[in-house]
Amino acid sequence: MSLAHSNRVSRRTLAMAATLVLALVVACGPPARSSGAATPKPAEAPAKTEPPKSGPPVSGKLLIGGVTALSGPQATFGEGARMGANLAAKELNTRGGLLARQIEMVYRDDEANPTKAVQVVQELISNQGVKVIIGPINTPNALAVAPAVTEAQVINLQITTGTATVDPKKHPSIFRPQYYAAQEAQLILDYFGRVRGYRKLGILADSTGYGQGGVAELKPRADAFGVQIVAEEKYNPGDADMTGQVGRIINSGADGILAWGLGNDLAQAAKALDKLGSRLQMIGASGITTVGFRQLAGEAGQNHLGTYSRRFSFSDSAPADARSREFVEKLDAEYGPDWSAQTVVSAPWYEAIYLYAEAVNRAGSDEPAKVQQALEGIQGFAGNGIYTTYTFGPELRNGFQQTDLTVVYAAGERHGLYRRPNDAP
């Protein structure tokens, strides 16, 4: 058989087979996507909530850029972000918009990828001409876009938790209306150290910048709470078995575990604890308080704790804040009762739009330099009262108040509200 002949045949086979594989992959898909509660439907929400196009565009629309992951593993967060921001824009528009212009949200998907985040931010600035960007959510993405927004002198309200992302000297136009890692470390050490009186704690963190960034916040603070770190364990995201890490923490005689990682991985840790018959409690940063943890840990996740917005938490004796419950009802009215996104993402994005509107109104202009000055002058602005009381200043870029963060059961969600232990600070 000649080589040429066999090559021709194989090329034809190749084309046919490639088509088959594609057909196969596409055919298997749709049912899975529509059923998973962890995978919301990013495409459907915006259509409903696009601000009315029929406004009086005398001076054109006022564009607000939104950058977050709308696809991929963190699409749930992006979905929650968009729900919150769209709702705020819609409400403001029915009251006449901002500077008598209708607000239009322009979203770009950063796929939780820093390179992509820089691309879409540059596109928003140069092609769309936005003067303000809300997001990103991921710390590496926030760090990556900082030079671009600083150079273009665009207002950027970042909703990230990484400690190092804001800096009034280097990036004067970047503000953070969101709690951050140092505040979370403070809170979880306070709860286990002071409230519970635990003296020996183990740390379990993922090996990425997120987990190790958390460790860097936890360790230097431990002493102040009379806490000794008796074990420090690391894992790679996606590790199949955590018996070793978890077993070492149990053997170290720790009273509890400080956990810094994402919900789906910490679900594996919860399962390992359960398997080893340990009742040790984990308390995590907000990464654990996610849909992923609740769904993947199942029964094994019931006992563990994480940080969350105080306004969206309730205890056995006290219901959640009335205005936050009202916000949940608004989400229901807008998106139907089946939305699965997280209020801890929807709320800051909702309030960020109001925060920006407040600054623009005070400045009487959407010129970034004037808005920046107005933002720096904001003291004790509560917005709709569902997240925090923002206070910024010429040297202050972190506007979230520590007291608005609390400890909740990581798997204790009830329709956007989380149950907190009765002794939560």
Partner 1 sequence: MNVGFVAQLLVSGLALGSIYALVALGFTLIFATTRVVNFAQGEFVMLGALVGYSAHVSAGLPLGPAVLVAGLVTVLAGLIAERVAVYPLRALQSSIAWVISTLGLGMMLKSGAAEVWGKVPVAFPAPFGLGRVELFGTAFVPQEAVTVVVAIALMLALEALYRATIFGKAMRAVAYDRDTAKLMGINVSTMSLISFGISAALAAIAGLLVSPITNASPEMGTVLGIKGFAAAAVGGLGTFQGAFLGGILLGVMEVLASGLLWPGFYDVAAFGLLILVLLARPTGLVGARVVVRA
What residues make contact with partner 1 under the rule CB under 8 A?
Answer: 3, 6-7, 10-11, 13-14, 17-18, 20-22, 24-26, 28-29, 31-36, 38-39, 71-73, 75-76, 207, 231-236, 238, 240-245, 247-248, 251, 264, 267-268, 271, 274-277, 292, 295-296, 298, 300
Whichever of 211 and 256 has its CB closer to partner 1, that residue is 211
Closest separation between CB of residue 393 and partner 1, Å? Answer: 39
We find the least distance from the C-beta atom of residue 228 to partner 1, in angstroms, to be 17
Q: Residue type for 237, please?
A: P
The β-bridge partners of 199 are none
Pick between residue 33 and residue 48 the one whose CB is nearest to partner 1: 33
Identify which of residues 21 and 369 has a Cβ nearer to partner 1 in the complex: 21
Mention every residue, 6+ apart, whose C-beta is less than 8 A from residue 276. Answer: 243, 246, 247, 250
CB of residue 12 to partner 1, shortest distance in Å = 10
Q: Check if the beta carbon of residue 350 is closer than 8 Å to that of residue 177.
A: no
CB of 205 to partner 1, least distance (A): 9
CB–CB of 297/269 below 8 Å? no
d(CA 256, CA 236): 21
Q: How far is the CB of 320 from partner 1 (least distance, A)?
A: 27
- Residues 157/175, Cβ–Cβ less than 8 Å: yes
Q: Cα–Cα–Cα angle for 342, 348, 352, nearest 5°?
A: 145
Closest residue by Cα to residue 215 from 198, 231, 199? 231
Q: Which of 229, 149, 32, 209 is nearest to 397 (CA)?
A: 149
Rg (CA), the chain: 23
Nearer to partner 1, 18 or 318 (CB): 18
Name the minimum Å distance from CB 242 to partner 1: 8
Minimum distance, C-beta of residue 80 to partner 1, in the bound complex (Å): 14
Minimal distance, residue 256 CB to partner 1, in Å: 17
Indicate the residue among 172 and 298 with the shorter CB distance to partner 1.
Answer: 298
Spatial contact of 343 and 312, defined as CB atoms under 8 Å apart: yes
Query: What is the edge-to-edge ordering of all strands in the sheet holding 62-68?
Result: 103-109, 62-68, 132-134, 155-157, 174-175
Nearest residue (CB) to partner 1, 55 versus 73? 73
Would you say 91 or 413 has its CB closer to partner 1? 413
* Minimum CB–partner distance for residue 212 and partner 1 (Å): 10
Q: Are strands 132-134 and 405-409 parallel, antiparallel or unpaired?
A: unpaired
Q: Which is nearer to partner 1, 97 or 301 (CB)?
A: 301
**Would you say the C-alpha torsion 23, 24, 25, 31 has a positive or negative sign?**
positive
Distance of closest approach, residue 144 Cβ to partner 1, in angstroms: 20
**Contact predicate 124/130, CB 8 Å:** yes
Of residues 36 and 364, the one with the C-beta less far from partner 1:
36
Tell me which residue of 136, 173, 141 sits closest to 374, measured CA to CA.
Answer: 173
- What residue has token string 């090559």? 7
- In whole angstroms, give the CA distance from residue 100 to residue 404: 33
CB 360 to partner 1: min, Å = 36
Q: Which residues pair with 314 in a beta bridge?
A: 419
Within 44-191, residue ranges assigned H as helices are 44-49, 75-94, 114-123, 139-152, 181-189
Residue number with CB closer to partner 1 (237 or 385) = 237
Q: How many residues does the chain have?
A: 425
Nearer to partner 1, 99 or 280 (CB): 280
